[in-house]
Each structure stands twice: as structure tokens, then as C-alpha cells.
Chain A
Amino acid sequence: MVLRRLRVYVPIALYAVFLLLPFYWMLLTTFKPDADLLKTDINPFLIYHVTVSHITGLLTTTQYWQWFANTLFVAVASTVVSVFVSYITAYAIIRLRFPGSEVVSTAIFLAYIVPPAILFIPLATIIIQLHWFDQLWALVPIYATFLVPFCTWLLIGFLKNIPRELEEAARVDGASNFAIIWRIIFPIAVPGLISAAIFSFTLSWNEYLYALVYMSSSAHKTVSVGMITELIRGDRFQWGELMAGALIGVLPAVLLYFFFVEYYVAGVSGSVKE
């Protein structure tokens, strides 16, 4: 019995240390005075003088709240848009046999391969022509380009496992395809949709390069971009504020996962069942 406990808890503890150490470091740095970071004679894992000046500094002297609101807006909007688009696309590919569905399916998978680190230059020309530059909402369709492929794949897998009898029965009752999509299948697909939503939210929340390049005014920056561009002055990094912002920035995603992790697991699980 004890052995079994050890066999679980010791590895869990090791993983916890590995995975959570940097977050503990962020916590320490948030509440430590910056000068203490440079002292090598004291224990770096403890805080000797607690300070909240980093948090207050972050929240009062920068536009952190604005960035947070921006990031939240973009993440939620791109999640809603991507999940919606992915759902209808996945349904169409899986259920509605139309010529070219195979091609579309493969193409969507291939869309994943393109690295944003270089795509952003040719994409910039297009963004400018569309007059989308420095428009915060423009990040929504831009993010959708890398969210839709994965979510579509996820939902294809999930929808594949829903028995066809449901739809056939509905059709016999005279329901249109359109009604089937929304009234019959949609409710059953909810776990898969939640998984896709969680995945999309996470990736949008963390995106950096596109937000850096296509937004320019401080009022339109996202959390990562705002912090990196405004809390680093030349060769002086405002470590306390940076780590405080990092911790606060991680909270929405953590909350989301805490409540929905079981759904996410069920969703991914459903999509890979044979």
C-alpha cells in the first residue's frame, strides 16, 4: 500500500518540481525587491523582504489592464469564430459527401505547416492592403488561420465517432441537413467543441509575433507584446513587473483549464477513438 503510494506520489512530486519551478520563480520575483535577485549569499528560493510594489507598479504605471482586456477580447473572439468555422467545416467534410472533400481535408492539415515567423512579411502586405493594420479585431481572422486547421482536425475525429443512426432517424422525420447540424449533432459535439475552444483560447492568448507586428499603438497591444516592449528599457529589465505580469497573465487560462480540463480530455479522447 505504502509502496503504491510512493510509486505515485514521488514521481508526481518530481514532475511538479520540474513543471512548476519556473512559476515558483515568477512568484518569488513578483514579491521580491529587484535588488534581492542579485544577492548570491541568500537563499534564492525564499523571500526575505516582501514587496507589492511590482504589482502596483505594473497595474498603475503601465496599460496592463488595457492589454489584458485586449488579449481577452481577441482570445474569446478568435475562439468563437474558429470553433464555429471548424465545426461547420468538419461536419461538411465528414458528413456531407461532396466532391473535393478529401482535398479540402488534406489541405487543411497542410495549412498547419507554415511558420508564422516568416509568413508575417508577405501577410503584412495583405494586412496593409485590407486596411487592417493596427486594428485589434483584425487579429481574430489572422489567429483563425492557425486555429482552424487543428480544431477542424479535432472535430473531424470527434464527429466521426457519432453514430450515423441519429442523423438517419432525424432525416426520416423530415429534418433538413441544416437542422441536423444545429439541433441534433451540435449538442452531442459539445465536449469536442469545448476541447477545441480551450485549445484555441490558449494559443490565441499566448500569441506574440503577429500581435507585435500588426498592432502598433500601445492601446492595441496584447499582454505579451505590451510587457516585452514596455517593461524592458534598454538593458534594464524590470524583472519584478515582468514576472508579475506573467503570473497574472497566466490566470485566465489556468482558471479555464481547472474547470474544463475533464471536458478537454473527453473531447480529445472522443476524437481519437477508432
Chain B
Amino acid sequence: MSHPDRRRFLELSAAGIGGAALAGGWPATAYAAETSPFKPEKGATLQLLRWKGFVAKDDEIWAANTAKFEKATGIKVTIDSLSWPDVTPKAALAAQVGSGPDIIMGWNDDPFVYPDKLVDMSDLADYLGKAHGGYFDTARTYCYDPEVKRWVSQPIGVTGNALVYRKSYAKEAGFPEFPKDFDGMLKLARGLKKGGHPCGFSLGHAVGDANGWTHWLLWGFGAKQANPDNSVAINSPETQHALEYAKQLYETMMPGVAGWLDPNNNQAFLAGQCGLTMNGISIWVSAKDDPKLYPDTANVLPPIGPSKQHTIFNNFTSAFIFKYSKYPNAAKEYLRFMLDTAQADPWVTGMAGYVTPALKAYAELPVWTSNPNITPYRDTMAGAKFDGFNGKPGKAAAQALDEFVIVDMFADHCVNNMAAKDAIAKAEKRLATIYKR
């Protein structure tokens, strides 16, 4: 069967599976109002603020699903979108002034920064969890607040981080298969540099990329930022090892990575200059039109380090409802609808790997196995840790992440040639101030 035919075949089978899984089915449009425990308020209208989809299909399908919801319930939903790093400040402003969108799709620790301003989402989270196979661990960490013993946000998923590399250059460097451990990866990096296609990982204030690989590396060596009681734990021999490794890796990297913001590694890779980087699936998808680059590009889960487990850092997105909203039940019903099989299946499939859902059932969708370059992204949530690991999600972890404390620690050692001890001490001092509050 030719490639496009096989894809269509899988899509149709998925429709069959989806239809069997829930009364709604796909692409059938029966609205399961009677079975939903969330009864929208009369005359409700909703305003949703979400981040601009990383790919046009995301916004298109989300809008189409929203239109379905409007048609079925008569509830008008306005969607406003912002660039993904701009959602957090807008949400913070809404929390501060007590007015704004009803639902916000935010990132990482957002809901833990102002949990008392948010509606209790336990009923929705439990309902969806039961219906769709439960959640991955980090979803619970980011959305269930153990201090107040309730879900403060509805998990949606992550924009997964995996490694993307050039197969032919890796082969030249002696790695027909991607290395399985950190030592192998360093050897590969050295080989890539010798071959003229070095790796590149941002050490600048790139909100997504710089945090992605530095946290992966830090945790990969068994180091951590904080302990479960939120005491600072960065000063350890493991952190030292992570820094030393990073320095060696830095020496094989392209020039200028310390000034890289989020688009730089995409551009360097797509130009054929970079042989290896960490990113979401966007690089591989953008390469689609390049007949030389596309077949040579591969995505793979990052290797495991001395900590002997996957330690990926993804950007986690969840939806929270503010207490000032006049229509919390309508909001919950909207979210239930959007994350339900009939709507979420086409959404996840259409995005082809951009967002890895938090609900385990959606990991079974055929889209994940339709191409070996999409499969690694399916597993980015299962192998993830959360920022501030192993402390508690909250204001301190959010502030540490936003201030690039970990990234700057790595950059200080690699780029500014600060001794590892001093870089760690500087980070420790800053973390102590942040966590003291």
C-alpha cells in the first residue's frame, strides 16, 4: 500500500476505534449532553485565551471543534490567541486585576502561582481521567495541588522535546544508530563537529529551547533543583558532573549558541548547518519541503544518563478557569467537550505530534505510529520530569524557571568560563532567595 493510502487507511481505522470507545464517535457528531455532569449556565458565553498553535492545523481544528460546541449548545466562545510565552504574563495580569478571560490555556507552574483565584477542577479532571485512561505523572504534578488538595487546572499536554539529528552525518561520525547514553552522545557530537555539521543547543534566554536541554541534562545526571520540602538541592556532585559534561558538549557546538533564542536552532538545522539539536517536532515538519533534508532528518528520544531513567523537560500546558468567571460550568463543559474523543482525536491527529496529550488514551492514536519520526514525541510525556524537580510546583519553581537560573548556571560555566563550583554557588544563592519566600 502506498504511503498516502496507508495513512488514510489508518485514519479510517481510527475512526472505528474512536467510535467504539465512546458514544460520541468520530466523525459522528452526536453531542453527549445527557451524559455530561457539567450543566452550563443559562445564557453563557465564554472567552478563551490560548497560545497560538505551533502549526496552523492546531488552530484550525480547535476552531472547528469550538464551532461544533457552539452549534450544539448555543454558547458562544471567543478565542483569543497570543504567542506562547506571552500567555503567562497575560494570565498573571488577569489574576492580579481579577478580570479577564474565563479560561486560559497556560504553561507549567502558572496555576500554582495563584491557585486561590482558580476554580476547583477536580470534578472535570477526574471525569476526563476516568474516561480516557488516566494521566501521565507530570500531568498530575502540574495540575493537582496537594496543599489545597484539589485539581487547580485541567491537564492538556506538552509540546514535547526530543532530539532531532541528521542521519547521514551521524553515520559519518560512526553512529548509524543514535547513541543510547550520554557518553555516546558526546562522541557523536565530537564526530559531528569534525564532519563540519556541529550540534547546537541554546545557552541564551530562549524560553523553550534553553530550558529544555539544560534541565534534561541536569536531571540526567541525577541532580535536582530542590527537595520535596522545597529546600534548595542544587549544590551536589551530580550538578558538577552535569556542568562538566555540558562544557565538553559546548566545545563541539556551533558558534553563537549563547545568543540563541527559540528560532535559532530551527534555522540552523533547516539550513543544513546544524547536525543535532533538541526541539519540538516543528523542525522535522518544517523540513517537509526540502527533498534533501527531510528524508535525512530523524527524531529520537534523548538518551538516558547516569540517573538511569528518562529525564525530559517539556513545556506543559493546562487549562484553568478563574473564579471571576460568570460561567464556570459552561467552561468546564467546553473543556470536557474539547478533550473528548470526538474532538480530541482529530485535533491530536491533525497536529501530527506537536502536542503530546496528558490523557493516556490519546497515546494510542494511530498518528503516533504513522511515522517513526512522530513516535518519539508520543513518549516525551511518559519520560518527563517537571521544572523545579524535585521540589513542589509553585511560585518559587515558576520564578526560577522564568529567571533562567539553571540555564545561566550552565552558561556561566560553559561560556563565561566560571568554575563549576562558582557557577553552582551563584545558582544556589539565587535559588535560596527565590525559595525563601
Cβ of A35 under 8 Å from chain B? yes
Cβ of B159 under 8 Å from chain A? yes
- Point out the residues of chain A lying under 8 angstroms from B273, CB to CB: 40
- Point out the residues of chain A lying under 8 angstroms from B52, CB to CB: 229-230, 232-234
**Are B209 and A128 in contact, CB atoms less than 8 angstroms apart?**
no
- Point out the residues of chain B lying under 8 angstroms from A218, CB to CB: 80-81
Cβ of A39 under 8 Å from chain B? yes
Question: What's the least CB distance linking A188 to chain B, in Å?
Answer: 46
**Are A35 and B290 in contact, CB atoms less than 8 angstroms apart?**
yes
- Segment at the interface with A among B132-140, B187-195, B278-286: B278-286
**Are A35 and B282 in contact, CB atoms less than 8 angstroms apart?**
no
Bound together, the chains give a CA A206 to CA B96 distance in angstroms of 27
Cβ of A235 under 8 Å from chain B? yes
**Are B266 and A35 in contact, CB atoms less than 8 angstroms apart?**
no
The proximity string for A residues 81-125 relative to B, scoring 1 for CB distances below 8 Å and 0 otherwise, is 000000000000000000000000000000000000000010011
- Point out the residues of chain A lying under 8 angstroms from B81, CB to CB: 218, 229-230
- Point out the residues of chain B lying under 8 angstroms from A35, CB to CB: 270, 289-290
- Point out the residues of chain B lying under 8 angstroms from A40, CB to CB: 271, 273
Q: Which of A35, A121, A216, A218 is packed against the most chain B CB atoms within 10 Å?
A: A216
Cβ of A20 under 8 Å from chain B? no
Known: A35-B289, A235-B263. A124 touches B97 (CB 8 A): yes
Cβ of B118 under 8 Å from chain A? no
- Segment at the interface with A among B38-46, B82-90, B327-335, B371-379: B82-90
The proximity string for A residues 29-58 relative to B, scoring 1 for CB distances below 8 Å and 0 otherwise, is 000000101111000000000000000000
The proximity string for B residues 91-126 relative to A, scoring 1 for CB distances below 8 Å and 0 otherwise, is 001001111110000000000000000000000000
Cβ of A237 under 8 Å from chain B? yes
- Point out the residues of chain B lying under 8 angstroms from A125, CB to CB: 96-97
- Count class of interface residues, chain B: 35 or more
**Are B80 and A234 in contact, CB atoms less than 8 angstroms apart?**
no
Q: Which residue of A lies closest to B89 (CB)?
A: A213
Known: A40-B273, A229-B83. A235 touches B266 (CB 8 A): yes
Q: Which of A104-159 contact B (CB under 8 A)?
A: 121, 124-125, 128, 133
Known: A128-B99, A217-B80. A235 touches B93 (CB 8 A): no
**Are B282 and A133 in contact, CB atoms less than 8 angstroms apart?**
no
- Point out the residues of chain A lying under 8 angstroms from B84, CB to CB: 234
Bound together, the chains give a CA A213 to CA B94 distance in angstroms of 10
Q: Which residue of B lies closest to A214 (CB)?
A: B93
Bound together, the chains give a CA A232 to CA B208 distance in angstroms of 14
The proximity string for B residues 357-397 relative to A, scoring 1 for CB distances below 8 Å and 0 otherwise, is 00000000000000000000000000000000000000000
- Point out the residues of chain B lying under 8 angstroms from A229, CB to CB: 52, 81-83, 86
Bound together, the chains give a CA A35 to CA B289 distance in angstroms of 10
Cβ of A72 under 8 Å from chain B? no
Cβ of B262 under 8 Å from chain A? yes
- Point out the residues of chain A lying under 8 angstroms from B19, CB to CB: none
Known: A235-B262, A236-B286. A212 touches B86 (CB 8 A): yes
Question: What's the least CB distance linking B8 to chain A, in Å?
Answer: 27
Question: What's the least CB distance linking B94 to chain A, in Å?
Answer: 9
Cβ of A228 under 8 Å from chain B? yes
- Point out the residues of chain A lying under 8 angstroms from B101, CB to CB: 216
Q: Which of A197-240 contact B (CB under 8 A)?
A: 212-213, 216-218, 228-230, 232-237
- Point out the residues of chain A lying under 8 angstroms from B86, CB to CB: 212, 229
The proximity string for B residues 53-76 relative to A, scoring 1 for CB distances below 8 Å and 0 otherwise, is 111100000000000000000000
**Are B263 and A39 in contact, CB atoms less than 8 angstroms apart?**
no
**Are A236 and B271 in contact, CB atoms less than 8 angstroms apart?**
no
- Point out the residues of chain B lying under 8 angstroms from A232, CB to CB: 52, 83
Known: A40-B273, A124-B97. A235 touches B208 (CB 8 A): yes
Known: A38-B270, A38-B271, A121-B96. A235 touches B280 (CB 8 A): yes
**Are A124 and B96 in contact, CB atoms less than 8 angstroms apart?**
yes
- Point out the residues of chain B lying under 8 angstroms from A37, CB to CB: 267
**Are B83 and A228 in contact, CB atoms less than 8 angstroms apart?**
yes
Q: Which of B186-218 contact A (CB under 8 A)?
A: 208-209
Q: Which of A228-266 contact B (CB under 8 A)?
A: 228-230, 232-237
**Shortest 4 CB-CB contacts between residues of A and residues of B:** A234-B54, A38-B271, A235-B262, A128-B97
Query: What are 13 sample pairs from A and B whose C-beta atoms fall under 8 A apart?
Result: A35-B289, A39-B271, A125-B96, A128-B97, A128-B98, A212-B86, A216-B80, A229-B82, A234-B84, A234-B262, A235-B54, A235-B263, A235-B280
Seen from chain B, the residues whose Cβ lies within 8 Å of a Cβ on chain A are: 49, 52-56, 78, 80-84, 86, 90, 93, 96-101, 159, 208-209, 262-263, 265-267, 270-271, 273, 279-280, 282, 286, 289-290
Kindly list 16 other residue pairs between chains A and B, CB separation below 8 angstroms, not including A230-B81, A235-B262. A35-B289, A35-B290, A39-B271, A216-B80, A216-B101, A217-B80, A228-B83, A229-B82, A232-B52, A233-B53, A233-B55, A233-B56, A234-B53, A235-B279, A235-B280, A236-B282
